[in-house]
């Protein structure tokens, strides 16, 4: 069977982005799989594609099937022990990199790092040896995946097992970047069932961890340090009021995603009113 014939039959089962990523993994040496449309699939390639398709149509995310995912132009090792990096989170990373460069920040924390995609992407793009990034997570298994990714990208980033900010020195960080769990249990279905609950689910309508970070982060940030949080768009109004009532942060920016939905929040510490 030729690749074009397999695609004709099976293309309908895949999201286009996933199909393209699958093809890039099948033919990593060519600039586009379109150059291989007339090539014949040998037994190994055909068996591989059939296995991927079988798992994919059951709902398993392609990242878990392949054991890898792209983020911020980099490739990351992925397993079901960690959350799959999302395209929207790249917008959070872009903002973080810009602020780090503008303010010459030195001490950065990727809080709840998972596979360490945020920490690694920042470190690879700030272009400064002076920037020291820490990556923390409560999950030992997620930190094991993070360690593999640090090795993959030849980086030395301290990995810390901690429950949020426990154990960090107060007033020591220039920036905290976090993509905390913020999904309500009722929204966890379909492909999300394959991802670790600890990285997804939060009580209090999805706000438990975000609120906890907001209540604690200013103690660990230097005066005028920055907190960048990924959020669910429907939390925006509540969080706006919550932050105003805290009186410990200044609003810097609301980040919108590719669908023009609110996806992130940038705050600056205002410890003394």
Active-site residue identified among 179, 181, 209, 262: 179
Q: Is 158 a catalytic residue?
A: no
Q: Which of 168, 180, 181, 209 is catalytic?
A: 180
- Active site annotation includes 179: yes
**DSSP one-letter string for the chain:** -BHHHHHHHHGGGS-HHHHHHHHHHHSTTSS-GGGGTTSBP-HHHHHHHHHHHHHHHTT--HHHHHTEEEETTEEEE--TTSPPP-TTHHHHHHHHHHHHHHHT--EEEEET-TTTHHHHHHHHHS--TT-EEEEEES-HHHHHHHHHHHHHTT----EEE-STTTTPPTT-EEEEEE----B-GGG--GGGGGS-HHHHB-HHHHTHHHHHHHHHHHHHEEEEEEEEEE--GGGHHHHHHHHHHH-SEEEEEEEE-TTS-EEEEEEEE-TT-
Query: Quick check: is 83 catalytic?
Result: yes
Catalytic residue among 14, 71, 72, 83: 83
Q: Which residues are catalytic?
A: 83, 179-180
């Amino acid at each position: 069977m030729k690749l074009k014939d397999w695609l004709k039959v099976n293309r309908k089962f895949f999201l286009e982005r996933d199909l393209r990523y699958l093809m890039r993994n099948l033919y990593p040496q060519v600039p586009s799989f379109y150059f291989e449309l007339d090539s014949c699939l040998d037994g190994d390639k055909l068996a591989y594609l059939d296995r991927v398709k079988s798992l994919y149509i059951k709902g398993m995310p392609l990242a878990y099937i392949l054991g890898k995912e792209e983020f911020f132009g980099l490739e990351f090792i992925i397993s079901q022990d960690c959350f799959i990096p999302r395209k929207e989170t790249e917008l959070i990373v872009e903002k973080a990199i810009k602020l780090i460069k503008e303010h010459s920040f030195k001490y950065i924390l990727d809080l709840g790092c998972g596979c360490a995609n945020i920490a690694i992407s920042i470190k690879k793009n700030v272009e400064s040896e002076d920037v020291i990034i820490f990556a923390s997570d409560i999950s030992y298994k997620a930190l094991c995946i993070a360690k593999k990714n640090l090795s993959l990208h030849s980086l030395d980033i301290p990995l810390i097992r901690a429950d949020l900010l426990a154990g960090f020195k107060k007033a020591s960080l220039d920036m905290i970047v976090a993509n905390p769990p913020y999904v309500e249990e009722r929204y966890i279905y379909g492909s999300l069932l394959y991802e670790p609950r600890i990285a997804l689910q939060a009580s209090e309508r999805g706000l438990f961890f975000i609120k906890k970070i907001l209540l604690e982060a200013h103690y660990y940030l230097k005066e005028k340090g920055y907190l960048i949080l990924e959020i669910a768009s429907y939390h925006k109004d509540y969080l706006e009021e919550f932050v105003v009532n805290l009186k410990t942060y200044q609003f810097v920016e609301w980040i919108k995603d590719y669908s023009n939905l609110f996806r992130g929040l940038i705050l600056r510490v205002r410890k003394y009113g």
